[in-house]
């Protein structure tokens, strides 16, 4: 649950600090702030951090918090309709311009796809009130859909650009959009389905270039630029690309 504090300014007047989520990290060496589409303001602190310092920390970065929050709201995609418990009524894959209407029914097969005159529909065979079961089924379907859509797209880009890789797969990852092993195995994040096509293409080119350079050296970025002249802009936009991922997906790595 987001936390909030009241502090006092120099005049002694009580001031309200913004709500935030506090995370204690064993890897953190110092306190840091980040703004995320689904959690809002997140404060990451090292183990043993004196929490009494939090109000002063938040006040010190009040202008950054305000600016980041406003920027996030300006670029937040329009929310799709949801069930009362947060489950989706509609799923939109920007990458391949697919829109699925989702229905829930406690009987029958667990996952059924149909593409009739009314458009693409997904029937989830579970009681909509069973949030966790429905979400697990939706994530399972999401992974299957990613295998059908993302892997052929990667194959096509590799063929067009003259890259070779050992194999490719998809995973529902929390923080990495893609990876490439030293043997040339590429893994793509299932959540790429929700991103615009040009960003998905950038990630795929990025990982394909790692089949040539297993680092982020100058030679690597020169190769990336050769295949994506807009890589700098795309790389910068990827820092906020999680805004495209619905909360029912993003909340479950």
3-state helix, strand, coil in the chain (%, to 5): 40, 25, 35
| Site of tokens 């297993």 | 214
Task: Check whether 63 has a pLDDT greater than 90.
Answer: no
| Site of tokens 């995973």 | 171
Number of separate helices (H) and strands (E) present in the chain: 7, 12
**Residue 170 pairs with which residues in a beta bridge?**
188
| The two structure tokens encoding residue 14 | 């009580």
What per-residue confidence (pLDDT) applies to 170?
97
Task: Check whether 172 has a pLDDT greater than 50.
Answer: yes
Q: What percent of the chain has pLDDT over 70?
A: 84
Query: Cα separation of 138 and 135, whole Å?
Result: 5
> Which 8-state DSSP code applies to residue 76?
P
Query: Cα separation of 101 and 120, whole Å?
Result: 6
Query: Cα separation of 167 and 89, whole Å?
Result: 34
C-beta atoms surrounding 207 within 10 Å: 22
Domain boundaries, the chain: 6-74, 90-250
pTM: 0.71
Least confident of 84-88, 157-161, 219-223, 231-235: 84-88
For the domain made up of 90-250, give the CATH fold. Zincin-like (3.30.2010)
Measuring CA to CA, which residue among 124, 246, 149, 141 is closest to residue 204? Answer: 149
pLDDT tens per residue, range 107-165: 767 889 988 766 899 999 999 999 999 999 999 999 999 999 999 999 999 999 999 99
| The two structure tokens encoding residue 106 | 């406690």
Task: Check whether 207 has a pLDDT greater than 90.
Answer: yes
Task: Check whether 74 has a pLDDT greater than 90.
Answer: no
pLDDT grade for 61, boundaries at 50, 70 and 90: confident
SS3 at position 167: strand
What per-residue confidence (pLDDT) applies to 41?
84
Mean pLDDT score of the chain: 85
pLDDT tens per residue, range 10-60: 444 444 567 888 889 888 888 888 877 656 788 899 999 998 888 888 888
Query: Cα separation of 76 and 246, whole Å?
Result: 11
């Amino acid at each position: 649950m987001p936390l909030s504090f009241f502090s006092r300014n120099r005049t002694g007047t009580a001031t309200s600090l913004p709500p935030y989520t506090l995370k204690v990290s064993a890897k953190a060496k110092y306190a840091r702030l980040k703004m995320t589409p689904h959690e809002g303001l997140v404060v990451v602190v090292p183990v043993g951090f004196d929490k009494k310092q939090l109000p002063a920390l938040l006040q010190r970065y009040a202008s950054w918090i305000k600016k980041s929050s406003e920027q996030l709201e300006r670029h937040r995609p329009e929310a799709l309709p949801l069930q009362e418990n947060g489950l989706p009524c509609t799923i939109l894959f920007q990458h391949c311009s697919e829109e699925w209407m989702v229905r829930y029914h406690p009987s029958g097969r667990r996952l059924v796809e149909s593409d009739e005159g009314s458009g693409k529909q997904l029937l989830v065979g579970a009681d909509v009130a069973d949030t966790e079961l429905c979400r697990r089924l939706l994530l399972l379907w999401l992974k299957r859909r990613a295998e059908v859509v993302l892997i052929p797209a990667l194959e096509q880009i590799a063929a067009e650009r003259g890259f070779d890789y050992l194999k490719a797969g998809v995973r529902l990852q929390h923080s990495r959009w893609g990876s490439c092993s030293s043997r040339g195995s590429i893994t793509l994040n299932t959540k790429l389905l929700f991103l615009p096509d040009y960003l998905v293409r950038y990630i795929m080119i990025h990982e394909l270039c790692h089949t040539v350079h297993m680092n982020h050296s100058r030679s690597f970025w020169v190769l990336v630029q050769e295949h994506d002249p807009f890589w700098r802009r795309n790389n910068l936009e990827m820092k906020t690309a999680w805004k495209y991922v619905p909360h029912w997906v993003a909340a479950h790595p």
